[in-house]
Amino acid sequence: MFELFKEKASALMAEVYSFKNRKEALEFIKGFIKENTSYEDKNSVVWYDTWFLDGERKEDLLAELPQITFEFTPEIASQAKIGINEVDGAIAESGSLIEVSNRIQKRLVSSLTEIHIAILPKSRIFPDLKTALRSFNLTNVPYVTLISGPSRTADIERVLTIGVHGPERVIIVCVENL
């Protein structure tokens, strides 16, 4: 299932990485942040976290990477280069991520930033849309988005161009043992 998902998501220009555990995934994310932002750029990373950093000391992370912020407004998210959140599932047949956001902040990081890092539990990859829809009780969720690759347009001369209103890169961090 993961292989099919990776193939389909990569075809949509998403970048897919797989890690054995949370620690490895976190190391990758930290490295990515260091490579793409400077610690002097305050608020250049907006992170909406609900479980991934459980057990980590956020103060330590902030000391190491002060460009991260866990509290933000739309204006701040709009200026940020990287947005990080956990997604709730994925669809193998189309290479899509499923983002369920009860709170609006969760979707700000994936809709306003330049780079979206999506943390995906490997166990939550569904074969197809129908199966995925059955596993989410939509009636209890105000907002769900399927995200399939970076934001794109072809409105000028039909030339495919990446990164219009949403992120121009989507990095999928798939974690096996959680």
* Site for another protein, rule CB under 8 A: 8, 11-12, 73-75, 78, 94-96, 103-105, 107-108, 111-112, 129-130, 133-134, 138-139, 141-159, 161, 163-167
Which tokens belong to 62? 């902030």
Q: Which is nearer to another protein, 123 or 135 (CB)?
A: 135
Structure tokens at 86: 């956990």
CB 112 within 8 A of CB 77: yes
CB of 83 to another protein, least distance (A): 12
Closer Cβ to another protein, 21 or 135, answer by number: 135
Q: How far is residue 167's CA from residue 165's CA, in Å, rounded to a whole number?
A: 7
Tell me how far, at minimum, the Cβ of 29 lies from another protein, in Å.
Answer: 22
Provide, rounded to whole angstroms, the least separation between the CB of residue 115 and another protein: 14
For 136: left if phi > 0, alpha if psi spans -120 to 50, otherwise beta; the answer is beta
Strand partners, 19: 175
Give the residue with the Cβ less far from another protein, 64 or 75.
75
Which residue's CB is nearer to another protein, number 14 or number 26? 14
Phi, psi of 46 (to 5 degrees): -105, 130
Find the shortest distance in angstroms from Cβ 154 to another protein: 7
Closest approach, Cβ 80 to another protein, in A, equals: 12
For 57, the token pair is 């000391």
Closer residue to another protein, CB minimum distance, 79 or 178: 79
Q: Round to whole Å and give the CA distance between 60 and 69.
A: 13
